[in-house]
Amino acid sequence: MKRLLPLLAALALLCPCAPALARDVGTWEMFNVDARPAPESRWILHTDLHARRMAGRFQALLRPGVGFEIMPGLTLWGGYTWVPVHTDANEDHSQHDVWQQVQYTHRFVDKLNVLLRERIEERFDETADGLSLRLRGMARVGYLIHPALEMALWDESFVNLNGQDWASKGFQENRAFAGPAFHFPGARIEVGYMNQYVHASETMAHVVMTAFFVNY
């Protein structure tokens, strides 16, 4: 009987009587710029802009920041984020946060690019009280098929470290992406599929994502 327990548990997850997830679809576009004030500078100026269109709502994002390269591949960052949200029901609001992160990048055997990132955000919403602390952990792997073409996979999880009326404590969200990355001198374009699971609303979103990266 004990040998059957793992099988029964797996079948239970597939049971049609389990609560169904809400579904959503949309498109996300992102434009990311990292610029060094001088070629040999260890300081990096950062800006990324997002436009996220989902069913019944539009979300923009502006995230300026500053990074300092401690050693090749290892950078500390800090900055601010503004996230205005517009809904078809005219329930518009904005969220703000101050963020800090550590990021590590490395290339293995000239083919495999790895990025690891941990970010903490101190967030607040204009329509609610209380400061929410959120931890984000991301891992990205890119395999170079050609010097100008890479297959990219990444996953990012979000966990609220404290609870507020508008942001409950614990696991919040997961995003997973797969798609090609096209490399150009000083730039990269990624186009692919992103799966987004939001725990609070039990929603699974299917997103076409396009991201532009510029480095100089």
pLDDT in tens, 114-150: 999 999 999 999 988 999 999 999 999 999 999 999 9
Q: Count other C-beta atoms under 10 Å from residue 85's C-beta.
A: 16
pLDDT tens, position by position, 16-35: 444 688 999 999 999 999 99
Which pair of structure tokens corresponds to residue 188? 């990269």
Q: What sign does the dihedral 22-85-174-112 (CA atoms) show? A: positive
Predicted pLDDT at 19:
60
Residues 6+ away with beta carbon under 8 Å from 79: 46, 63, 64, 65, 66, 98, 99
Domain ranges, ordered by start, for the chain: 21-215
**Which two three-digit tokens encode residue 38?**
């001088």
> In 3-state terms, what secondary structure has residue 7?
helix
Q: How far apart are CA 9 and CA 40, in angstroms?
A: 56
Q: pLDDT averaged over the chain?
A: 91
Torsion angle defined by CA atoms of residues 189, 194, 199 and 201, in that order, rounded to the nearest 10 degrees: 100
Alpha-carbon distance of 88 to 97, in angstroms, equals 24
Global pTM value: 0.87
pLDDT tens for residues 42-98? 999 999 999 999 999 999 999 999 999 999 999 999 999 999 999 999 889 999 999
Name which of 211, 201, 214 is nearest 55 in CA terms: 201
CATH fold label, 21-215: Porin (2.40.160)
pLDDT in tens, 151-161: 999 999 999 99
